[in-house]
Copies of this chain bind each other. A is one copy, B any other.
Amino acid sequence: MKIKDFGEFNIIEYISNTLSKDKVQTSLSNSLDIQIGVGDDTAAWQTQPGLQLATTDTMVDQIHFILNTSNLIDIGWKSIATNLSDIASMGGTPTTALITLGLPGEMKITDLKSLYHGIIECASTYNTKIIGGDIVKSPILFITVAVYGVCQNPTMQRSLLKENDLIGITGFTGLSKAGLELSKPKNELKNLTPNNSQMFYNAHFRPKPKIKEGKILKEIGAICAMDISDGLFSDLNKMLTASQIGAVINQSSVPIHPEISKVFPNSDFEMATNGGEDYEILFGISSNKLDKVKSLLPESHIIGKACSGEAGVIELIADDKTYKLNRFNGWDHFRQ
């Protein structure tokens, strides 16, 4: 059956029923003090003194995924996960979400169910309550998610990097790009194994928002962080520009996952620094907190240091030379 045969009210009823059957979704109503969930003109929840966080991200067919060749459960998962990553990068705790679906009349109901399955799976995994949204007809499928969270004041911010702060990342970058490469039919890759294939696939299609790591960073005393969505160097450039500061990065300090080097030996550094959709956290921290970072975030890596150079400029030291990297268009979707 197709969306156009099923009708708006049946879709809303399906979603409401599915949400009410999910144990985590149901249990969150009380713990989050939800007054009004799905079904009225607005959602409503009780607030306490503190900071409310809000973010939104969108995925569009033909731009961010291909409907006919994608696993819709994965698309659903990722549509929430990218938003949760934004909350994580502030050191916050996600609480609630609004889900907007733009649905083509020709879309199969089974695909809609898979999509929503992935949405609920990710939301429930990270204790995020779906409280409402919108369903509209659209010539192409799109998913817009808005996620809310809470945080004790102050949040971490991308604009607060200070001179001599160490610059770190919570884990390897480049794995998502490797997963994307795998999904392209043209590639004949050496050294692929079931294990590294799965790892690459999961990094791209099932990203895990670093909520725990964001909270640890905030507790340790980090004040500067952002999530890596456009690529490590592109996002570092944004952090440096926002903080009006420069940075020195040693090429040898940028961690390259050994499996990426095995499968993509000629582009491993490029993938790690310019891959995108990593959803690791990029952070700055005082050097006197390095021991805590090492013990509490053992998978993190320090890649360089903020310096009083030209604002926004990355001085990359490689092969005893210094390269000044001063502009990264990264993932500028609009330019052709």
Contact = CB atoms under 8 A, between A and B. Distances in A.
A309 interface: no
A90 B41 contact: yes
Contacts of A296: none
Nearest to A149: B42
Contacts of A140: 138-140
Contact of A134 (B42, B51, B58, B138): B58
Report the interface size class on chain A.
Answer: 35 or more
A40 B159 contact: yes
Nearest to A95: B52
Given A49-B47, A51-B35, A105-B334, A63 B98 contact: no
Contacts of A158: 40-41
A62 B139 contact: yes
A313 to B, nearest CB: 17
Interface of A: 3-9, 11, 35-36, 39-64, 85-87, 89-90, 92, 96, 98, 100, 102-103, 105, 131-134, 136-140, 142, 144, 146, 148-149, 151, 153-155, 157-159, 226-227, 242, 329, 331-336
B47 A105 contact: no
Nearest to A214: B41
How many copies of this kind of chain does the complex include? 2
A255 to B, nearest CB: 22
Given A44-B52, A52-B47, A157 B36 contact: yes
A36 B149 CA distance: 14
Contact of A7 (B42, B153, B332): B332
Contacts of A53: 42-44
Contact of A155 (B44, B55, B331): B44
Given A8-B332, A100-B56, A132-B55, A40 B105 contact: no
Most B Cβ at <10 Å: residue of A48, A60, A138, A331: A138
B336 A54 contact: no
22 contacts: A3-B334, A7-B334, A8-B332, A41-B87, A42-B86, A42-B92, A42-B149, A46-B50, A46-B51, A46-B153, A47-B47, A47-B48, A47-B51, A49-B49, A54-B131, A54-B146, A55-B132, A56-B133, A56-B144, A63-B139, A139-B140, A146-B146
